[in-house]
Amino acid sequence: MSDAPADKAPAAPTKAPAPAAPVEKPAAPPAKEVTPPAKEVKPTTPHSGLHDRVQMISLNADGTAAQYHPELLGDYDAAVAELQVRFAQQEANVSGDALAAMVTNHAAVLTALAAEGH
């Protein structure tokens, strides 16, 4: 007779774990097209840095341009004619020293526009 208790069954042989199913990796995104570098665009104004590109000049209350080194787009003569109409409208609303300063500012705006290469 054996010394082992009768209620214990012999140990079952262990199985090796089943190999994991191969995991499919998502397809790589398509390669991006290589674009040649853009040609350097030269500004049309003498100021190569900050400047505003506008079709019409906006004016501050003192008659100075509201834009920084404005570059006029489109018809230059029409924009200047419209600007002179607004100069006249502004000048009609002031008098004295303010009028003299405004006339000087208006002349400075026109001079700056002419210097911008138009």
Nearest by Cα to 62 from 8, 108, 18, 11: 108
Provide mean pLDDT across the span 85-97: 87
The per-residue pLDDT for range 13-27, each reduced to its tens digit, is 666 666 666 667 767
- Alpha helix (H) residue ranges in the chain: 76-91, 97-115
Provide mean pLDDT across the span 79-86: 87
